[in-house]
């Protein structure tokens, strides 16, 4: 038992961790603005057959948020741990996240903890620039500011940790704003044998996209070796420095100029 005066003041300000969020096939198909999937009837047939497989489980604030005080008010680094069940779905896509457009002000970095994933990211310019690359344990990826991104895990279970800046210091996902407010990127991931490929979906522009195939992180930008350790152990100056370097990157045309 702990008495009130034994509670560390920092602990006292950490909000409770939100409940884990489980996303199933029905959540993917239920996205109001889409969804962009390869074959919706094939996926609906799975549901009609009485199966609603878990695609992934997200633990928001897997490690406590870290505040970044600034002139515009409080900002936080937050960290999520997402576990993908893995495999290939009935429409030939990897077991995947629903995918979303990042808010324009948000900075986000991914790191694979275990397993292998494929990340599809893209913008809404014409021609579109899209990035499709495979990532293994320890690999990191930076989401360009305002881009769409989704994660696939076709080769089996995989775990990804991501950090992102947020004005909201607590709470679970704003599902309506994140998944239902804007039509998804009209490209998706298909499997060609054992390898993922980017494929245009309904609504893709006639102009072919520029496809980037390397890991999406800028040359010369040092990232923490371990994002979880960074979130839990970095000092205030390090937390602010990463935000500033990523924000500076966002002022450039990266990765379009690559």
* Nearest CB to Fe ion, comparing residues 81 and 191: 81
Does position 131 interact with Fe ion (CB under 5 A)? The reply is no
CA angle, corner 87, sides to 200 and 226, nearest 5?
A: 90
Which bin fits 65, alpha (ψ -120 to 50), beta or left (φ > 0)?
beta
Question: Quick one: 177 exposed, middle or buried, by C-beta within 10 A (0-12, 13-18, 19+)?
Answer: exposed
Give yes or no for residue 165 binding Fe ion (CB under 5 A).
Answer: no
Asked if 102 interacts with Fe ion (CB under 5 A), we say yes
Nearer to Fe ion, 102 or 111 (CB): 102
Site string for Fe ion, 105-124 (x = CB under 5 A): ---x----------------
Report the residue number, 80 or 93, with the smaller CB distance to Fe ion: 80
Q: In this complex, which beta carbon is closest to Fe ion, that of residue 102 or of residue 129?
A: 102
Whole-angstrom Cα distance, residue 4 to residue 244? 37
Tokens of 148: 């769409």
Whole-number minimum distance, CB 155 to Fe ion, in Å?
Answer: 22
Q: Judged by CB under 5 A, which stretch of 72-80, 94-102, 120-128, 218-226 contacts Fe ion?
A: 94-102
Smallest gap from Cβ 13 to Fe ion, in A, equals: 25
What sign has the CA pseudo-torsion 80, 226, 197, 252? positive
Structure token pair of residue 192: 């060609």
E strand or H helix at 59: strand 54-68
Residues that bind Fe ion (CB under 5 A): 102, 108
């Amino acid at each position: 038992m702990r008495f009130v005066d034994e509670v560390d003041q920092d602990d006292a300000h950490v909000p409770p961790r939100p409940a884990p969020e489980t996303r199933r096939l029905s959540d993917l198909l239920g996205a109001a603005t889409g969804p962009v999937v390869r074959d919706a009837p094939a996926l609906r047939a799975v549901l009609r057959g009485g199966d609603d497989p878990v695609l992934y489980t997200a633990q928001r604030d897997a490690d406590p948020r870290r505040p970044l005080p600034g002139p515009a008010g409080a900002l936080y680094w937050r960290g999520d741990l997402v576990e993908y069940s893995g495999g290939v779905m009935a429409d030939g896509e990897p077991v995947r996240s629903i995918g979303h457009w990042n808010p324009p002000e948000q900075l986000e970095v991914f790191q694979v903890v275990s397993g292998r994933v494929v990340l599809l990211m893209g913008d809404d310019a014409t021609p579109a620039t899209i990035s499709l690359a495979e990532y293994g344990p320890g690999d990191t990826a930076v989401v360009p500011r305002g881009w769409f991104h989704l994660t696939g895990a076709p080769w089996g279970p995989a775990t990804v940790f991501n950090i992102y800046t947020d004005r909201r210091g607590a709470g679970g996902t704003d599902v309506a704003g994140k998944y239902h407010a804007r039509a998804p990127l009209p490209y998706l991931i298909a499997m060609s044998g054992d390898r993922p490929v980017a494929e245009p979906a309904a609504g893709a522009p006639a102009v072919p996209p520029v496809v980037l195939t390397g890991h999406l992180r800028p040359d010369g930008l040092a990232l923490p070796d371990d994002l979880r350790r960074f979130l839990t152990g970095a000092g205030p100056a390090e937390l602010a420095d990463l935000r500033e370097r990523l924000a500076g990157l966002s002022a450039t045309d990266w990765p379009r100029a690559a």
